[in-house]
Amino acid sequence: MKSTKQAGKIRLTAKAEGLDVVSLEIESEEGVAEPYGKPPILEGYSRKLMAKSLGAAKVKQNLLRSADFASRTKFSASSSQSAHPPELAVDGDPDTRWCPANGATGHSWQVDLGISSPLSGMKIVWQANRIYQYQVEGSTDGERWFVLCDRTEFDTPKQTHQLEFPVQTVRYLRVTTTGLPEGLWGTFSEVELYN
């Protein structure tokens, strides 16, 4: 791994035969540091002071890849093409995707976590670097829904959408398209959920 000496995100994925795939996202914050972990010269240097001055890394674990959820999680959609079912949006392969039956808006993708869990954000990787409008909702019972993130007026071309929202306890989560780029469908290749 090579450092660019810039703040940003690092994604690590571990795979081993017979074990679940685990993805970990680490986000570093702006700060001054020398290469190879040599600390800057600070009066009264300590590891705590160093962490405070540089900003501690924030670690997010994708719930959909954790062993606790893998066996009980179910995926569904309002419609799907047979070659692109909803579970392909969480298989860790950027070359596969969920795709609705047609290019109309209003299609939704849904996950049932099997148990209620706190969520603080998610990531969606859409088909292209274009403008996608949608709404993310959560529910504890699959009947009464509340908005987690409203992107119905979103107007920035972007393929990867990193969403953060106030922590909410949900069992069900759904993403419903409300506006699509001309000529493209509401299809995405990856979804991650963070607690």
Tell me the one-letter amino acid at 67: A
Q: How many CB atoms lie within 10 A of CB 161?
A: 20
d(CA 60, CA 129): 24
Mean pLDDT of the region 121-127: 96
Give dist(CA 161, CA 168) in Å, integer.
19
Tens of pLDDT, residue by residue over 160-180, are 999 999 999 999 999 999 999
Q: What are the structural domains, with CATH classification, of the chain?
A: 9-61 (no CATH), 64-194 (2.60.120.260)
Task: Over range 24-28, report the average pLDDT.
Answer: 65
Q: What is the pLDDT of residues 41-99, one digit of tens each?
A: 444 444 444 444 444 445 567 777 776 676 789 999 999 999 999 999 999 899 999 99
Phi, psi angles (nearest 5°) of residue 155: -135, 30
pLDDT attached to residue 40: 46
**Spatial separation of the C-alpha atoms in residues 188 and 68, rounded to whole Å:** 24
- pLDDT given for residue 5 in this prediction: 58
What is the structure's pLDDT at 54?
A: 42
DSSP-derived 3-state class of residue 49: helix
What are residue 178's phi and psi, to 5 degrees?
A: -125, -20
Kindly tell me the burial class for residue 33, based on how many C-beta atoms sit within 10 Å of its own C-beta (0-12, 13-18, 19 or more).
middle
Q: Is residue 103 pLDDT above 80, yes or no? A: yes
Q: How many CB atoms lie under 10 A from the CB of residue 179?
A: 15
Distance CA 174, CA 137 (A): 5
- Extract the tokens encoding 66: 């954790």
DSSP string across 62-123:
BGGGSHHHHTT-EEEES--BTTB-GGGGGSS-TT--B--SSS-S--EEEEEEEEEEEEEEEE
Residue 37 pLDDT more than 60? no
